[in-house]
A = this chain, B = another copy of it.
Amino acid sequence: MIQAPSRRDRVRAATTQEIIHTARKLLVQDGPEAVSLRAIAREMGMTAPALYRYFGSHEELLRHVVADIFTELATHVRTAVHVAADASNSDLTEAEVMVVKMIAGCREFRAWTLAHVPEFSMIFGSPLPGMDVLHQIQNDPTIDCGYQFGQVFLDLFGDLFRRRPFSIPADEEIEPSLREQLVRYRTLVHSDLPLGALQTFLRCWVLLYGSVSLEAFGHLRFALDDPAPMFELMLSDLAPMIGLEYPLPASAR
């Protein structure tokens, strides 16, 4: 039978989100070092030890913040993809729409990142020590949300491949140790894509992550003030890997 929400559920559930959002606010306003338990509590009109009712430690709180950021990013990319699909020229084929969606997803990933550098640094910068161990821990929010984010791009990629197949390496062409790992990965994410497609997917991810994080972290500033054109170049590297020409034909823009 269904029970009425207990006091714990009502109050506490609302407050954990408040804490996380306060932490994010501090992160954005004052940088990563400013996200201290005392500062969060101060901002909320509480005292620091009170936060221990909600999180076991400062680090656990941060991991929930990371999870929150991950899901927000995933949502942003997903909705940007849908918006692009809806707004696309209505006489495009389904396959062409997939191309539009793919490009929109990559562009939104970059756009969100540049608009949220502190958050991006938190989830994609140097990992908190002890992150390695997390893969063995159950029920960690970070891991789940990270996978959920990866799934957004993987779904996009899978749809594109099914509707507009492109050339991928055959299983025998894949380096054996990689092939074995791709098999594991495929079962982990319950995908039915061929291994070659997964290999291409990861290659695309390397490109996308590389160019975006380079830009966000300022590691191209030694050469360029505005790395935007480099992102476009990256997209032209990406396109042939998934059977597209780039820049896109005018009809798909």
Contact A202 B224 (CB under 8 A): yes
A229 at the interface (CB under 8 A from B): yes
Main secondary structure of the interface of A (DSSP, over half): helix
Closest to A125 in B: B126
Residues of chain A having any CB pair with chain B under 8 Å: 31-33, 121-122, 124-127, 129, 131-132, 135, 146-147, 150, 175, 177-178, 181-182, 185, 188, 198-199, 202-203, 205-207, 209-211, 213-214, 217-226, 228-230, 232-234, 237
Q: Which of B33, B131, B209, B219 contacts A218 (CB 8 A)?
A: B131
**Interface CB pairs A-B, < 8 A, 17:** A32-B126, A32-B129, A121-B126, A121-B127, A124-B219, A125-B125, A175-B232, A177-B229, A181-B223, A181-B229, A182-B223, A203-B237, A206-B211, A206-B220, A207-B210, A209-B214, A210-B211
